[in-house]
Chain A
């Protein structure tokens, strides 16, 4: 076998590996109901912050614990727990995207991405500021 052939086979193998790793590392867009059926699997849920309910952040007690209630696009509401500091201006968020998994009926987020409407555009949805907060646990 020629070196070129060995290389070609290696390259194809690595390329397939890259595809598999992409698929397996990709999070899945889901709602809370789906996330609950797939306990432990990383899911990405899109929804809105429930501004009526308590947004709990008490830095004096623990600067790294923050929780809030979020309604997904199907209308299901769950408590979301984030082990990190509360993102600045969180209350202003229009849309929240959380990445994480469900345990005991609560969503443990390790990444929060929020979009805030811009004042000058009457909150048009395409005019959004994105802010990420990440907990590196």
Chain B
């Protein structure tokens, strides 16, 4: 038995106990709530027990989270999870990212939000408490099981975040596991450098909050079907649905903001599988919320309302499966998979079966007796809009699921080679439809709208958006049909809703939540079209001749090489790479953006410092730097940089010598000067050179002239001692160049000259890319307006709900 020094084993033991407690109490909460709901809606003793156990579960889970945070905070590397996801070097502000980076932590984050929402529902759901909390407790049991880390019959159930480092399967038999003092030298593995960004501390919690909030409408819908209260569930579920839409929408778009700020693919949306799988539940939730709106008064499309509400949550589980099971493997940049795929599949199938059972046993009747809505009615257009959202979600899910399809059908398809083109070819036209519906449907009335009046009301915004489209098309020289069309339709959506907000609602914010949310959504689409659809790469390769691809017209020239001190035209700027700065693990490349002023002189406009984050374990990560103007962004990132010889010692070292045969008068270029062999230098004093008396010495004067006109000379000397020939080098320190003269070719009479340059002369270049994103601020403002508008609508609805109905 080895006595390990410095381990904090108590915390882990308490943690493991709390895992068990939270799992068992969620099961008990489920059992009691289930029993209670089966009997009545009243608060009976079953229900009281249910509450007690859900609260016990909540307390255990909070304790669990607290302990893991404490262990990460105290760098308790005796725990595998802490070792795996953090290090002592990591700034404290990333502690949250360390927490959820692993599968166990993100499961806890999800369960945490369910606990928050569940405890609110215990108070607010009144007669629905029994059914809603039955669903919540059951989900908590599934999530809790993912933390168990037990192995009955050799099957792994869950993975425990409190496994010790020295007992982890990966570490078995490694020498440190038998060293009692191993904690003295063990250092954490650290956090993925991509996640060391402030967006990454708030984006995942927001997405998980959104994910968790899809469970509320799901639980109410199950309750409605279970209790055969087919319409009553909508009223309490509606504010929560739109709350979820707001939060999840914010979370998804924050992911885009992170991608734009921290990743260097140049944009905020790349149809990456992980992005897609968080977008799809949002689309379905939006569709579900709108169908709930039209079914709350009159049952029109009740089956669809149920189906979409249920599927929003099912898609959340599917999304978790896609990103956590590792099935995306090669297709995604960021699936941090540790993989408990089987358990997630059971989790998903359980709720799929439950949903399908209720949907078909109870909901089927609504499909048969559906009534037709009038064409010019608000409900019909809202239905159409939801349908388009469903199609959009279907297409995204289908193409993102290629690895799953391969798994199921044994096919060997690879994800689309050009994902952006593939998804855009579908999503652009669908977005045109959605934005058109958004523009029109605010002015539509329920049941029937007089068509003439409708068009009269729409006319001003229609005309303005046509003019606006022409303006933008001219300004940005848009030449793609669908980009033009979407430009028009999204502008129309924004203006029509603005018009509605100010003319019909007289600008009353309280009533205008929906109009504002739609304005925001229109702006998000408009901003995307303006910025991504019209992005311009200004780092075009203007000077170099592309030898390899001369006959290829599509040759990619989006990257430019910049030597230190060089100034290169990137229309409308001239860009100078001024210096490289090493700060800790970051290497910054300072770029000055210049313009030529009236006097013909360069004038600095601004500087950007794209950088590379050095990370030995996980690879170096380039990160962009962006200059924000009100109407455009200049986005710059390093595509390639020589990251060897970064430290100042090796910078000062000389690189490989060039051996040249030169005659007097010859000249050549070095990296920072023009060098010319001027003349022989015969008047050398052997004594001062510390040479022997009989040595023959001959010097050669070399003049170096820099680009800015400074002159330097060097005189390397050749010495003949007996039958041995050697050179005495001479250095021009200012230029980091040294010369050796060590022979003369007797036939050609050419001189044998060695030229060496310091590493800092040659190594200092970068390959960079610069992109202009016009009007990207429309997108960011749109996000804020959309989320605020949605929350205003939710608030208004809650206040209406609490008022007694007349």
Closest to A118 in B: B617
Bound: A124/B171 CA distance, A: 12
Bound: A81/B459 CA distance, A: 54
The contact of A63 among B398, B417, B561, B619, by CB within 8 Å, is B561
The contact of A85 among B189, B426, B616, B639, by CB within 8 Å, is B639
- In the complex, B544 has a CB within 8 A of chain A: yes
Given contacts A18-B394, A19-B398, A134-B265, contact A64 B413 (CB under 8 A): no
> Do residues B549 and A65 form an inter-chain contact, with CB atoms below 8 A?
yes
Please give, as numbers and ranges, the residues of chain B lying within 8 Å of A60 by CB-CB distance. Answer: 561, 765
Please give, as numbers and ranges, the residues of chain A lying within 8 Å of B265 by CB-CB distance. Answer: 132, 134
Please give, as numbers and ranges, the residues of chain B lying within 8 Å of A59 by CB-CB distance. Answer: 561, 640, 765, 767
> Do residues A65 and B546 form an inter-chain contact, with CB atoms below 8 A?
yes
Please give, as numbers and ranges, the residues of chain B lying within 8 Å of A2 by CB-CB distance. Answer: 372
Binary per-residue interface labels of chain A (113-137) against chain B in the complex, 1 for a CB within 8 Å, 0 otherwise:
1001011110010000111111111
Please give, as numbers and ranges, the residues of chain A lying within 8 Å of B554 by CB-CB distance. Answer: 83, 137
Chain B, range 524-563, C-beta contacts under 8 Å to A: 541, 544, 546-549, 552, 554-561
Bound: A135/B555 CA distance, A: 9
- In the complex, B232 has a CB within 8 A of chain A: no
The contact of A14 among B332, B391, B561, B765, by CB within 8 Å, is B391
The contact of B547 among A62, A111, A116, by CB within 8 Å, is A62
Binary per-residue interface labels of chain A (1-45) against chain B in the complex, 1 for a CB within 8 Å, 0 otherwise:
011100100010011001101110111110000000000001010
- In the complex, B643 has a CB within 8 A of chain A: yes
> Do residues A7 and B387 form an inter-chain contact, with CB atoms below 8 A?
yes
Residues of A within 8 A of B (CB): 2-4, 7, 11, 14-15, 18-19, 21-23, 25-29, 42, 44, 46, 57, 59-65, 81, 83-89, 92, 97, 99-100, 110-111, 113, 116, 118-121, 124, 129-137
Residue of B375, B558, B641 with most chain A CB atoms under a 10 A cut-off? B558
> Do residues B546 and A27 form an inter-chain contact, with CB atoms below 8 A?
no
> Do residues A84 and B415 form an inter-chain contact, with CB atoms below 8 A?
no
Chain B, range 82-110, C-beta contacts under 8 Å to A: none
Chain B, range 755-802, C-beta contacts under 8 Å to A: 765, 767, 769
Chain B, range 261-305, C-beta contacts under 8 Å to A: 265
Please give, as numbers and ranges, the residues of chain B lying within 8 Å of A89 by CB-CB distance. Answer: 619-620
What are 22 of the A-B contact pairs (CB < 8 Å)? A3-B375, A18-B394, A18-B399, A21-B425, A22-B402, A25-B417, A25-B422, A26-B413, A26-B414, A27-B415, A27-B416, A59-B640, A63-B541, A63-B559, A64-B556, A65-B549, A83-B552, A84-B556, A86-B640, A113-B330, A132-B333, A136-B556
Closest to A65 in B: B548
Bound: A64/B547 CA distance, A: 11
Minimal beta-carbon separation of B758 from chain A (angstroms): 18
Closest to B553 in A: A137
> Do residues B544 and A62 form an inter-chain contact, with CB atoms below 8 A?
yes
> Do residues B547 and A118 form an inter-chain contact, with CB atoms below 8 A?
no
> Do residues B546 and A64 form an inter-chain contact, with CB atoms below 8 A?
yes
- In the complex, besides A44-B414, A59-B640, A118-B617, 13 extra interface pairs with C-beta distance below 8 angstroms are A3-B372, A4-B370, A18-B394, A26-B413, A27-B415, A62-B541, A62-B547, A63-B560, A83-B554, A88-B620, A88-B643, A97-B330, A113-B330
